[in-house]
Amino acid sequence: MIVQREQMNVVIVGHVDHGKSTLIGRLLADTNSLPQGKLEAVRKKCEHTSRPFEYAFLLDALKDEQTQGITIDTARSFFKSQKRDYIIIDAPGHIEFLKNMVTGAARAQAALLVIDAHEGIQENSKRHGYMMSFLGIKNITICVNKMDLVEYDQSIFEDIQRQYEEFLLEINLKSTHFIPISARHGENITTLSRRIPWYKGDCVLEALDNFNKDAPSHERELRFPVQDIYKFTAFGDERRIIAGRVESGTVQAGDEVVFLPSQKTSRIKTIEHFPQPCHSEAVAGESSGFTLETQIYIRPGEIMCRAKEKLPHVATHFKANVFWMGKQPLVKRKNYKLKIATQQVPVMLTDIIHVLDACELSSIQNKGQVDRHDVAECIFETLKSIAFDDIHFIAQTARFVIVDNYEIAGGGIILAPVYVQDSVLGQHIEEREFKWERSGITPDKRAMKYQHKSVLVIIDGPLSTGRPIAKALEETLFKLGKFTYLLGVPSHLLASGATTNDRVLNRVYHLQQLGELARVLTDAGLILITTIADIDKDELNMLRSLNRPSKTVVVRIGFNHFEHNDAHLILSEEEGAHSGADKIVNFLIKSLLLDPEYSI
């Protein structure tokens, strides 16, 4: 059996041209990590094109990068020290490519930050430092580079160290190491330099090996975001497998578990593996799969936790720090998509507490939007309850991204949940009702005339059963002389402009549109019928709110995953169209909505 070595990802950051790529190139060359002939090939190519040789060309592999002498996108390179294997991530320093830098850095467990001794601390030296603290990278060493340009002057080095230490203090980062180096000349890279006798610390290579990898969080609370639920019946496999990765903690067969936000509970039956038989436990970092003792209805996105441990927050509002990378600014009251762990929900920005200048660390109040490269503390509201932790408790379930127009446009960390009554939806409804110019014919007068109250009937469940029932229901009601209408147009087709193939946002547009239509049509006195494939509790609440004060009746077909009083009537998946319709009519009569003797 081979002894398994440890692997660590280290990102190299810093201001443009301060020598990051050169440092990595030198590190690779001086540790003999380059494939044979690579260095010579690059040298030859430089001669060929009459350009001075640069170690950076070993990393800057793209044509545009070489012609412009600049790193555009992060690159991975691989090297080994005595101690462990490294993936070294070269990040670009130019502000234009900040999103690429963040992409590289978000994969890292440690960072080297390069500062040019000659140019001193620049804008992105600070911005990158701030982003390290934002991304939660605690291992950080500062390389003061190009010492050759300042004659290896100790006082210049110490000045930079003092200034930068002050800055680090402000952002709550501590760096134990500042190393004076010359990347181009290989000083203090893999061995201590004779040119810098006054420096007695580690060289870069030793500094790397001295980084500590965060201990895996096996002992922490279990967080298992459900990535998917598999049932490969087509392959003759009857197992129902809850798939995902253990983000923290440990889980064993027999454990009592709770899924959030739904709060469904069950017990782990088996931990599934391929090709070996079942394991007895899964630990943080493992991609795994479970079967449960009981068949409960849960969806991808929920977080599985151990019932007796401290659970994540469940809320619709939270306070967070966001970092914005989008071409369009982050604005209030626009539907975005939030991705946190495996949950995806529509989200809106409701408040900007302040925007921070990541270089000067000064905060700007009263800004109405968050622009590209801003960092801001904000309040967000999700359309549905989500489960999350705060960043200081369990980071993996406290980090999120915001998707705007198919692109990841922002990254964020949750600071705390916010518990409020107010919601964007509530405010919208309030305004809608307030500005509504009421008809002289009140709902009561209409009900008297039509001999029935108005109602929205939602038939929820498999459409193959639901649609025929809905049709039959409309027909039956019509024959009884009731004012009824089956909404058969997919409502997203009614909403002009709101088209996207983002299924999460599409679904919200669809339901919002449906809710608004329902409010108008039930106000007109109709019994409005609609079918929906699979509606959850939050979605139902949204529809109900939008349709208020008219009543909403829910008919559930198949397995009832709602809490006891959410579905008014439950029909089986085998229910025939007419018998189903009759049952619904009976229910409506019973609950007085259709009483022929109806009077107020």
Ligand X SMILES: Nc1nc2c(ncn2[C@@H]2O[C@H](COP(=O)(O)OP(=O)(O)OP(=O)(O)O)[C@@H](O)[C@H]2O)c(=O)[nH]1
Positions touching ligand X (CB under 6 A) are 14, 16-22, 54, 56, 70-71, 92-94, 145-146, 148-149, 182-184
Closest CA to 306 of 252, 258, 363: 258
Compute the least distance from the CB of residue 588 to other proteins, in Å: 38
DSSP characters for 84-143?
A: -EEEEEE---SGGGHHHHHHHHHT-SEEEEEEETTT-S-HHHHHHHHHHHHHT--EEEEE
For other proteins, which is the closer residue by CB, 58 or 142?
Answer: 58
Per-residue tokens: 570: 């439950």
Closest CA to 562 of 532, 518, 529, 593: 532
Per-residue tokens: 57: 């060309």
Q: Please report whether residue 47 would count as binding other proteins according to CB under 8 A.
A: no
Closest CA to 475 of 529, 550, 520, 554: 529
Per-residue tokens: 518: 């329902």
Q: Please report whether residue 29 would count as binding other proteins according to CB under 8 A.
A: no
Compute the least distance from the CB of residue 137 to other proteins, in Å: 12
Q: Which stretch binds Mg ion (CB under 5 A): 13-21, 186-194, 277-285, 399-407?
A: 13-21
Backbone torsions φ then ψ of 510, nearest 5 degrees: -55, -50
Binding test (CB under 8 A) with other proteins, winner from 28, 29, 56, 102: 102
Pair 251, 306: CB distance under 8 Å: yes
Q: For residue 276, what are the contacts with CB-CB under 8 A and spacing of at least 6?
A: none
Compute the least distance from the CB of residue 7 to Mg ion, in Å: 23
For other proteins, which is the closer residue by CB, 85 or 422?
Answer: 85
C-alpha distance across the termini of the chain, in Å: 83
Compute the least distance from the CB of residue 71 to Mg ion, in Å: 3
Residue 596 interaction partner, one of other proteins, ligand X, Mg ion, none, beta carbon < 5-8 Å per kind: none
For other proteins, which is the closer residue by CB, 74 or 141?
Answer: 74
CA distances (Å), origin 224, targets 276, 310, 318: 22, 14, 21
Compute the least distance from the CB of residue 143 to ligand X, in Å: 10
Q: Please report whether residue 4 would count as binding other proteins according to CB under 8 A.
A: yes
Q: What is the rounded distance in angstroms from the CA atom of residue 471 to the CA atom of residue 510?
A: 21
Backbone torsions φ then ψ of 416, nearest 5 degrees: -170, 155
Q: Please report whether residue 22 would count as binding Mg ion according to CB under 5 A.
A: no
Q: Please report whether residue 20 would count as binding Mg ion according to CB under 5 A.
A: yes
Q: Please report whether residue 52 would count as binding other proteins according to CB under 8 A.
A: no
Q: Which stretch binds other proteins (CB under 8 A): 34-42, 115-123, 152-160, 175-183?
A: 34-42
Pair 491, 509: CB distance under 8 Å: no
Q: Please report whether residue 71 would count as binding Mg ion according to CB under 5 A.
A: yes
Closest CA to 425 of 534, 316, 532, 275: 316
Q: Please report whether residue 127 would count as binding Mg ion according to CB under 5 A.
A: no
Q: For residue 547, what are the contacts with CB-CB under 8 A and spacing of at least 6?
A: 456, 515, 518, 519, 522
Residue 54 interaction partner, one of ligand X, other proteins, Mg ion, none, beta carbon < 5-8 Å per kind: ligand X
Closest CA to 325 of 400, 408, 398: 408
Pair 402, 338: CB distance under 8 Å: yes
Binding test (CB under 8 A) with other proteins, winner from 399, 482, 510, 519: 399
Pair 13, 112: CB distance under 8 Å: yes
Q: Which stretch binds other proteins (CB under 8 A): 55-63, 309-317, 359-367, 573-581?
A: 55-63
Pair 110, 126: CB distance under 8 Å: no
Q: What is the rounded distance in angstroms from the CA atom of residue 348 to the CA atom of residue 338?
A: 9
Q: Please report whether residue 250 would count as binding other proteins according to CB under 8 A.
A: yes
- Cis peptide leading into residue 468 (ω within 30°): no
Q: Please report whether residue 452 would count as binding Mg ion according to CB under 5 A.
A: no
For other proteins, which is the closer residue by CB, 354 or 372?
Answer: 372
Binding test (CB under 8 A) with other proteins, winner from 30, 31, 81, 87: 87
Binding test (CB under 8 A) with other proteins, winner from 228, 256, 351, 422: 228
For other proteins, which is the closer residue by CB, 154 or 252?
Answer: 252
Q: Please report whether residue 343 would count as binding other proteins according to CB under 8 A.
A: no
Site for other proteins in 364-393 (CB under 8 A): none
Backbone torsions φ then ψ of 413, nearest 5 degrees: -130, 135
Q: Please report whether residue 270 would count as binding other proteins according to CB under 8 A.
A: no
Q: Please report whether residue 78 would count as binding other proteins according to CB under 8 A.
A: yes
Compute the least distance from the CB of residue 104 to ligand X, in Å: 11
Site for Mg ion in 190-209 (CB under 5 A): none
Q: For residue 334, what are the contacts with CB-CB under 8 A and spacing of at least 6?
A: 348, 349
Q: For residue 529, what are the contacts with CB-CB under 8 A and spacing of at least 6?
A: 457, 459, 470, 473, 474, 484, 485, 486, 487
For ligand X, which is the closer residue by CB, 14 or 249?
Answer: 14
For Mg ion, which is the closer residue by CB, 20 or 568?
Answer: 20
Q: Which stretch binds other proteins (CB under 8 A): 15-23, 57-65, 117-125, 572-580?
A: 57-65
Residue 184 interaction partner, one of other proteins, ligand X, Mg ion, none, beta carbon < 5-8 Å per kind: ligand X
Sheet with 455-460, strands from edge to edge, namely: 484-486, 527-532, 455-460, 551-557, 569-571
Binding test (CB under 8 A) with other proteins, winner from 244, 312, 461, 580: 244
Q: Counting Cβ atoms within 10 Å, is residue 376 exposed (0-12), middle (13-18) or buried (19+)?
A: buried
Compute the least distance from the CB of residue 54 to ligand X, in Å: 5
Site for other proteins in 302-331 (CB under 8 A): 325
Q: What is the rounded distance in angstroms from the CA atom of residue 48 to the CA atom of residue 68?
A: 17
For ligand X, which is the closer residue by CB, 93 or 244?
Answer: 93
Q: Which stretch binds other proteins (CB under 8 A): 27-35, 302-310, 361-369, 540-548?
A: 27-35
Residue 149 interaction partner, one of Mg ion, other proteins, ligand X, none, beta carbon < 5-8 Å per kind: ligand X
Q: Please report whether residue 471 would count as binding other proteins according to CB under 8 A.
A: no
Q: What is the rounded distance in angstroms from the CA atom of residue 31 to the CA atom of residue 80?
A: 8
**Which residue has the CB atom at the shortest distance from ligand X?**
93
For other proteins, which is the closer residue by CB, 26 or 399?
Answer: 399
Q: Which stretch binds Mg ion (CB under 5 A): 18-26, 99-107, 237-245, 503-511?
A: 18-26
Which residues contact Mg ion (rule: CB under 5 A)?
A: 20-21, 71
